[in-house]
Amino acid sequence: MSQNPLLDFSGLPRFADITPEHVTPAIDALLVEARATIADLQADADAGKVEWDRFVEPLVDVSERLARAWGTVGHLNAVMNTPGLREVYNANIPKLSEFWTELGQNVGLYAGYKALRAAPSFDALSPARRTVIEHQLRDFRLSGAELPDAEKARLGDVESRLAELSARFEQNVLDATDAFALYLDSADALAGVPEDVQAMLAEAARAEGREGFKLTLQFPCYLPVMQYADDRALRQKLYDAYAMRAAEFGPAELDNSPVMRERLQLVRESAGLLGFSNFAELSLYTKMAESPAQVTAFLRELAHKARPFAIKDRSELEAFARDELALPELAAWDIAYVSEKLRVARYAFSDQEVKQYFPEPRVLEGLFGVVGTLYGVQIRPASAPVWHPDVVYYDLVSAGEVIGGFYLDLYAREGKRSGAWMDDARGRRKRQGRTQTPVAYLTCNFSRPVGDRPALFTHDEVITLFHEFGHGLHHMLTRVDELDVSGINGVEWDAVELPSQFMENFCWEWPVLSGLSAHVDSGAPLPRELFDKMIAARNFQNGMMTVRQIEFSLFDMLLYSDFDAEGGDWMALLAQVRSEVAVNIPPAYNRFPNSFSHIFAGGYAAGYYSYKWAEVLSADAYAAFEEAGGANAETGRRFWDEVLAVGGSRPALESFRAFRGRDPSIDALLRHGGMVENSTAAA
């Protein structure tokens, strides 16, 4: 066993042993090892000794070791951010960017893959191996392997700087979020806020040795205050702080505006070096969508269908605010509050009431039961090193055999990136006759337990958990043995949300919800009457929510295609998009783009449309289960066989057609969303 835990690949990461001091020595050692292996492979390629086992496998070996070590560091940086870890994380980004650029531009390796593609033995390879080779050839071209030396070097510099900017953007958002705290001495200002939320805020204050309540911009605090606090001034104070994060209103070192400007300039330059008119064209080159024009047409068509429903939603909200709450003007900090009041008035239930039926242990039991019904697999607690006491590890078992595993990190805390996501700790591959099982990180930011009561989830949080678990199943249920196309690897980005969004649908099935609900005090299951109200309210304000997603998607696509990166005003572009599709217009000081991590620090640049694009696929895929009567093993097995199992080894559209027997249709999405005249959503 290695003395440096980051160099120990015998099992799962030794989180308890890892310190910031381990990072640089481990990365340096792995880079030396990788470069030595690549030199040997170049020599083999020059000598014509290019075969899968002695050329591709050794390269996958060293690339995987480096990616797994750095993936562990990156994961810790996201969930347990400390000054020491952040410092070494940032220090190693340029070295890694330089290496991956070298690898992508290596003409010797490129020639080796060309030789594999041209060899008579290519047709005898498995479909997965043929796809790996085709993807590698494409990626070498996109990495600049065919460019002149000077342009190669410039592209490498650009990619290295972009990696640094992405990390900087995310860190600024985290720091700006964590920097805010509002302390209240009295509960009077929290009138309307549920008791369990008040208890959480009081506990946060006590943890600092203070009386009263501590409010933050973490979502488990921010959302319920915006949704329930009767004090309008308090809502506005929190809204303003949230809306102006990482912008010019705060410390200059946390302002993301310069980061965004430089990033937009650099991605445009990188696209130009590779022969694309703009970055959006480059981004779409590896996706299902064919062009920015096709994406914007898709979004505008969806907006055309959804906007009348959004206008109706907004009008109803304004009328209710005026007539029932004496609010003559509906401000941005009123929308969540008035929406909750309208929901209660119209459907006679609140999120807080529903939340009492979804304690964490019961929800997990129900989720695992659904997975068992669909795929015949069992989920059982197991032992593994973890990075925080809140984290739990599970095995995924099929026919008595462990086929995968996952970590579950559910609660919000300081130093943890906001949002919810799935990432891989390691992927499935077969090497020397042994199969490496895939392992996933499943991360959320829900409210933690308070006192001796379990954590309680809103129905939206249950949906989020199912969503991320869908990503995890895509990763863990693969049967592909080639790492580069197993699980989510190699899947087109605008199809990668299909399995996650697909899982959300089961959160609206009565047999499922009745099986994962139990009142936190009485243990009674969710009453059918309350479920029926939830179903009636399922598409409450769905028009508004849909155009909001279209707003983000259209802004993203236009920003990375037609925008003037040098002097353009992205707030003016966003205002233009809002005038076209939105119904809720925020105040002018709202700096949403400055914290839009998906497109400035994540993988969604010129790809945010993927959520709506994949939703067409996922809604249509779920319709197959509706036609078969709900969650069932036969349809689940086909979905596993044709979608989850094949990973990125074939195009996503082919996988969809194999499962559904036809091309996808938008009809199910519109029907589920209640955006068809005189329609009702399916339960």
pLDDT tens profile 31-51: 999 999 999 999 988 888 899
For residue 421, give the amino acid letter: W
Residue 218 has pLDDT above 90, yes or no: yes
For the CA atoms of 208, 211, 212, 215, the dihedral, rounded to the nearest 10 degrees, stands at -10
Catalytically active residues are 468
Task: List Cα–Cα distances, 236 to 201, 240, 334, in angstroms.
Answer: 18, 6, 8
CA distance 485 to 128: 7
**Angstrom distance (rounded) from CA 342 to CA 190:** 20
What is the rounded average pLDDT of the residues 224-246? 98
Residue 468 pLDDT exceeds 70: yes
Q: What is the spatial distance between Cα 321 and Cα 326, in angstroms, rounded to a whole number?
A: 6
So what's the pLDDT on residue 330? 97
**pLDDT higher than threshold 60 for residue 682:** no
> Which of 328, 355, 358, 357 has the alpha carbon at shortest distance from 340?
355
Nearest Cα neighbor of 163 from 606, 600, 598 is: 600
Specify whether the CB–CB gap between 267 and 162 falls below 8 A. yes
Nearest Cα to Cα of residue 457 among 578, 539, 355: 355
Query: Which amino acid is located at 485 in the chain?
Result: V
Residue with tokens 């990432």: 423
Q: What is the pLDDT of residues 58-67, one digit of tens each?
A: 999 999 999 9
- Cβ(454)–Cβ(420) below 8 Å: no
Q: Could you count the other beta carbons within 10 Å of the beta carbon of residue 116?
A: 23
H or E segment to which residue 174 belongs: helix 149-179
pLDDT at position 36 is 98
- For residue 677, the model assigns a pLDDT of 63
1 pLDDT higher than 80:
no
- Per the prediction, the chain carries an average pLDDT of 95
**Could you give the C-alpha distances from 463 to 356, 367, 422, in angstroms and in order?**
16, 10, 14
User: CA 203, CA 189: separation in Å to the nearest integer?
Assistant: 17
Q: How far apart (Å, rounded) are the C-alpha atoms in residues 646 and 280?
A: 28
Write the DSSP assignment of 291-335 as a string of letters: -HHHHHHHHHHHHHHHHHHHHHHHHHHHHHHHHHH--SS--GGGH
Look at residue 681 in the predicted model and tell me its pLDDT. Answer: 32
> 328 exposed, middle or buried (CB, 10 Å; 0-12, 13-18, 19+)?
exposed
- 490 pLDDT band, cuts 50/70/90, is very high
SS3 at position 586:
coil
Mean pLDDT of 471-479: 98
Tokens describing residue 541: 């304000």
pLDDT value, residue 680: 35
Within 8 A by CB and 6+ apart from 7, the residues are: 26, 29, 30, 69
The percentage of the chain sitting over the pLDDT mark of 90, rounded to a whole number, equals: 94
Distance CA 231, CA 233 (A): 6
Nearest to 301 by CA among 496, 545, 546, 501: 546
- Taking alpha carbons only, the member of 173, 29, 169 closest to residue 92 is 29
Q: Distances in Å between the alpha carbon of 538 and those of 250, 304, 673?
A: 38, 21, 8
The confidence band for 676, taking pLDDT boundaries of 50, 70 and 90, is confident
Distance CA 187, CA 673 (A): 39
Q: Taking 70 as the threshold, does the pLDDT of residue 430 lie above it?
A: yes
Residue 560 pLDDT exceeds 70: yes
Secondary structure string (H, E, C) spanning 16-33:
HHCCHHHHHHHHHHHHHH
All domains in the chain, ordered by first residue: 5-146 (1.20.1050), 180-244 (no CATH)
The percentage of the chain sitting over the pLDDT mark of 70, rounded to a whole number, equals 99
What average pLDDT score do residues 606-611 get?
Answer: 96
Going by pLDDT thresholds of 50, 70 and 90, the confidence category of residue 602 is confident
What is d(CA 516, CA 371) in angstroms, rounded to the nearest whole number?
Answer: 12
For residues 245 and 255, what is the distance between their CA atoms, to the nearest angstrom? Answer: 8
**Phi and psi at residue 343, in whole multiples of 5°?**
-60, -45
349 pLDDT more than 60: yes
Beta bridge partners of 435: 430
Asked if residue 490 lies in contact with residue 127, where contact means CB atoms within 8 angstroms, the answer is no
